[in-house]
Amino acid sequence: MLVDINLLPIKEKTSLTSTILIIVAVIMLLGATTWLGLDYYVSTGKLQEKERLLQQEKLIVQTEQKREQANRVIDSAPLVEKIEYIQGKEIAAADLLQHLVALLPERGYFMKYEYQDKKTVNIEVRFDTLADTSHYLHELTNSPYLTEAAIEKMETTNFEEINEGKDMTAFENILPRYHSLYKIEFQKDKILELKGDKNEGE
């Protein structure tokens, strides 16, 4: 009787189910790894964006704090120093105005007074007669404190009523009124001289 003896190891048969499970596990592992990588990338980007916004906010806060500190320094300065600073930067407006008023005829009245720029002022003046209009221009052009003066525009109030033949006898002593717009140019140094002359007169 013959005995069949096989000393080789017996190979276990792998089933199809085991293979599928392994493939699915590998796919899930790869998917999880990919998802974690994408999530990390997105989270890092968001974190960097938040850090950038935070830095911008810190910069804005620092700028505002510096501005507030500067304002506190200005506000804490004595009132006298502020006045002296402004006087040093601006022209002697009150002295110029007083000079222009002093040149007016007896029945001349200022209607408007405004600065056009740092060396030009526009004034609108009302007069009773046309002669007063030209007389005031003469005084302005001959003032040693002004560099130039000219009439920009002149109008006559109630002139239309007179032309239309309306009864204006009740106002004949004061009509017509002449409104003249003067453009006056000056130099700051000249106005400062005017202030000095006024102090000497006192």
Residue 168's pLDDT is 46
Q: Pick the more confident residue, 70 or 148.
A: 148
> Mean pLDDT throughout 1-16?
57
CATH of domain 91-201: 3.30.1360.100
Residue 117's pLDDT is 80
Residue 142's pLDDT is 93
d(CA 90, CA 15): 101
**Segment among 43-47, 144-148, 181-185, 192-196 with least mean pLDDT:** 192-196
> Mean pLDDT throughout 134-150?
92
d(CA 25, CA 44): 28
**Nearest Cα to Cα of residue 144 among 191, 181, 202:** 191
What does pTM read for this prediction? 0.47
- Confidence band, pLDDT 50/70/90 cuts, at residue 6: low
Residue 141's pLDDT is 93
> Mean pLDDT throughout 6-12?
54
Residue 38's pLDDT is 83
- Predicted confidence (pLDDT) per residue in 52-69, tens digit: 888 888 888 888 888 877
CA dihedral 69, 75, 77, 81 (to 10 degrees): 130
